[in-house]
A and B are shown apart, each in its own frame.
Chain A
Amino acid sequence: MRPFEHLTVQAADEAIQALAGGDGGNTRLIAGGTDLLPLLKDGLVNPGRLIDIKPARALRHLTFDADGSLRIGALTTLAEIERSSQLAERLPLLRQSVVDAATPQLRAMATVGGNLLQRSRCWYFRGPFDCWLKGGTVCYMRDGENKYAAIFDQGPCRSAHPSDLAPALVALDATVSISGPAGSRTTPVAEFLAPPTNDERVEYRLRPDEMVTEIRIPAEAIAGHGVYLKAMDRRAWAFALVGAAAQVTILDGKVARARLVFSAVANVPWRATAAEALLVGQTLTPDLAAQAADAAIAGASPLAHNGYKVPLARELARRAILAAANLWTETN
């Protein structure tokens, strides 16, 4: 780790002021630090100054508002989501998405805001390779050891998005509140997370002088029921091979709203809109869930070593859709 100056702030507006120094990204915020510290140790980011925002207690809360919507402060830890009895009852998808994420120690430190800003786990990105995502010209994942790579092609980079929480948030139509020197803005998580491009080789869209302050989930999404299913190559402490978040609302026996979002199949959470469209307006049956699951993986273009992700995603999708509607059993 290279030396850096250190600043501690007590509130978001102090952090924004400090970020406004105009040093072109040389200053970074630190919250839980569970991704930033490894990035610093690997030299993948080398800020001259860190701003500790953990003391900003106003950014650490889980609040159901009177209209049924949910606000989550950016500094809320994954452990706090895991342990919330209110969430377990009212929004099981969100809680399920974090219980198998990382480990208890990491969930105790890691924050919701930081989760959305975590960088790729691709070993070419993390390791000593001048890969495209780090500013080079080649994505080594394409022809290299690509067992964990994305199966959907979204551009030059083939790394798979690691977050379990993010696909759940996308399935819940969550928005992210962002503060900067010009005030606040709100954007869907589904747009905040975006495939890296030539100009922005990062998986999110946040200016160096901005910070994430809050996540909001609308009441109509919370009104449904959902699950997060995660396949790992061991039973604990692993990133998803594939994860599937499904949130379904059934009214008068028909699907009124459906969301199906995968983790670890694309650069960012992958929403299977074709599958959702097949479900809406229909009576949910095992056959329909299977058709939707087939639609969900249409267009996948696996590489040499990650073809297993295609049937895995299809089956997780099928089970997640059925489980979201309380129809999943071992026999169907």
Chain B
Amino acid sequence: MSSPSSNAASVSTSASTTTIHLTVNGRTRTLSVEPRRTLLDALREDLHLTGAKPGCNMGQCGACTVLLDGEAVYSCLALAIECQHQAITTIEGLAHDDQLDPVQQAFIDHDALQCGFCTPGQVLALKSLLLRDPHPDDDAIERAMAGNLCRCGAYPKILAAARSLAGRAS
């Protein structure tokens, strides 16, 4: 979570706009934000990466899920200024050229979405699980996906997509 430097000094920032550096999808991005800027707003408003969605903005829906060092988190509850030493992955960073990430492809193959609003968060929550555990059982999948609401009710198909990935990896 912190800089690897052991003698790193305290850093003080005024309440007004300051320059920060974020590593997003492998690229270092420099932006000017106030300390109160959430990671979600920095991604969407400053970097125009609109894959992470603002749903509830209070950590109660999961639509804003991104990965910090591979761990799924709610970007609406993180301050951008505090994410400068972690690798941030958004849905825009999963595909490489024309090659979708296997999780994205599995969602398409299993029709695991309807309106799609929650889908970036669902995909990243599942991605985080598979990074830790390539062969999750149903209980592990359901637990890993418990923090992402889908108001269309695509849960059974999301589970099917996840199962196919767990099987494919085995």
Q: Which residues of A contact B148 (CB under 8 A)?
A: 103
A-B contact count (CB 8 A): 115
| A3→B59 contact, CB < 8 A | no
| Segment 45-79 of A: residues with Cβ below 8 Å from B | 48, 50, 52, 54-57, 60, 79
B: interface residue count bin: 35 or more
Q: Which residues of A contact B31 (CB under 8 A)?
A: none
| B82→A54 contact, CB < 8 A | yes
| B62→A105 contact, CB < 8 A | yes
A33: Cβ under 8 A from any B Cβ: yes
Which one, B15, B79, B82, contacts A3 given CB within 8 A? B15
Cα separation A108 to B85 with both chains bound (whole Å): 16
| B77→A2 contact, CB < 8 A | no
| Segment 95-109 of A: residues with Cβ below 8 Å from B | 99, 102-106, 108-109
Cα separation A54 to B16 with both chains bound (whole Å): 22
| A237→B2 contact, CB < 8 A | no
SS class of chain A's interface: helix, strand, loop or mixed? mixed
Q: Determine which residue in B3, B12, B14, B62 has the highest number of CB atoms from chain A within 10 A of its CB, and name it.
A: B12
Among the 9-residue stretches B65-73, B92-100, B101-109, B157-165, the one with 4 or more Cβ atoms under 8 Å from chain A is B65-73
> B residues engaging A (CB < 8 A)?
1-3, 8-16, 34-36, 38, 57-59, 62, 65, 68, 71-74, 76-79, 81-82, 85, 125, 128-129, 142-144, 146-148
- 23 pairs across A/B with beta carbons < 8 Å? A1-B36, A3-B15, A4-B35, A4-B36, A5-B13, A6-B15, A6-B81, A7-B11, A8-B10, A18-B10, A33-B82, A38-B58, A50-B35, A54-B1, A54-B82, A55-B2, A57-B1, A103-B146, A103-B148, A106-B74, A108-B68, A108-B72, A109-B77
Question: What 8 A-B pairs are tightest by C-beta distance, nearest first?
Answer: A103-B147, A55-B2, A6-B35, A236-B146, A3-B15, A6-B13, A8-B11, A105-B147
> A residues engaging B (CB < 8 A)?
1-10, 14, 18, 30, 33-34, 37-38, 40-41, 48, 50, 52, 54-57, 60, 79, 99, 102-106, 108-109, 236-237
